[in-house]
Homo-oligomer: A and B are copies of this chain.
Amino acid sequence: MKDNTVKDDTPMTLDDKKRIAAGWFKELQDQICDAFEALEDTLSAGPKTDTPAGRFDKKVWSRADQNLTPNASGSELHGGGRMAVMRGRVFEKVGVNFSEVHGTFSEEFAKQIPGAQESNGAFWASGISLVAHMQSPLVPAVHMNTRMICTSKSWFGGGADLTPMFENETDTKAFHSALKACCDRHDPEYYTEFKEWCDRYFFLPHRNEPRGIGGIFYDYLDRKEWKDDLAFTKDVGTTFKDTYVDIVRRSMNEGWTAEQREHQLIKRGRYVEFNLLYDRGTTFGLKTGGNTEAILMSMPPEVKWP
């Protein structure tokens, strides 16, 4: 296995940092896929037990070998990634994407990104992005994303937020308290700030309603030593994985009604509205000529606007 660490006394170059961060995001992708496949294997009751356990389908893509969308915005994009998608009996559709890309932002777009005008639009970005839509309306949908971005500046961003179809206190408390403990391990100020940021961000103004019950959201994180900011970002990923696996396991074996399913399909419509109307990740991806298939893997498999 490749050694993704550097000795503490070696001065780290920006290239080292990029390699280490991208290495982590890719490793986390594997860890999450393994954990989710294990959930598929352990389903023991409910309407989907006769369905075979799902497995991730992983697909490596690169700018060169993909027929990517011509980029009307004037941005340029190189690099690639690895999409992992599973259509299973617990996870109706879950996408876990790793990517490592670089290129040049259009002039217009560079104005909106810190340090991008100073780099003449040049950027590098790597991250992991995950959206899970579940078979059971009793199991919350979830989103997680962490990333490192470099222009003339460099920072981490990310977060995780939970969207129950039917809110229940046990899941809500478990999710929030795991993220709070994670934040507190790194800085006593983080949780309050990042929780509020999440509530502000995952909100649908046209419906005057939140997308789900929130979680944490952070961006432009360049506050401590780089390795400390990385450590926090890694902890967010690991904490998300462990707490979401617990949440899924808690309800996945219960049955559900047709009415609950209908409610789930409608609630998913709000998810679509948020992603296409407001989500910065979607906009960032589509505006920089990203891989449309990977970006829109977050769309729910089945939705209703009755």
Contacts and interface: CB of A to CB of B under 8 A. Distances in A.
A10 interface: no
Contacts of A302: 265, 302-304
A43 interface: no
A2 interface: no
Interface residues of A, number: 27
A208 interface: yes
Interface string A269-306: 10011001100000000100000100110011111111
B72 A205 contact: yes
Given A276-B277, A296-B273, A207 B69 contact: yes
A295 B207 CA distance: 11
Interface string A110-152: 0000000000000000000000000000000000000000000
A51 to B, nearest CB: 15
A301 B296 contact: no
Contacts of A272: 272, 276, 303
A75 to B, nearest CB: 12
Given A206-B296, A273-B296, A303-B305, 20 more contacts: A69-B206, A69-B207, A69-B208, A87-B306, A93-B305, A93-B306, A205-B286, A206-B286, A206-B292, A207-B292, A265-B302, A269-B299, A272-B272, A272-B303, A276-B276, A277-B277, A296-B305, A299-B305, A301-B304, A302-B303
A99 B69 CA distance: 37
The number of times this chain is found in the oligomer is 2
A272 B302 CA distance: 13
Nearest to A268: B303
A276 B265 CA distance: 18
A303 B301 CA distance: 8
A52 interface: no
A26 B221 CA distance: 53
Contacts of A69: 205-208
A11 interface: no
Nearest to A269: B299
By Cβ-Cβ distance, the 6 closest A-B pairs, closest first, are A276-B276, A299-B305, A206-B292, A303-B303, A206-B286, A72-B205
Contacts of A292: 206-207
Nearest to A208: B69
Contacts of A306: 87, 93, 301
Interface string A174-206: 000000000000000000000000000000011
A295 B205 CA distance: 14
A206 B295 CA distance: 10
A295 B204 CA distance: 14
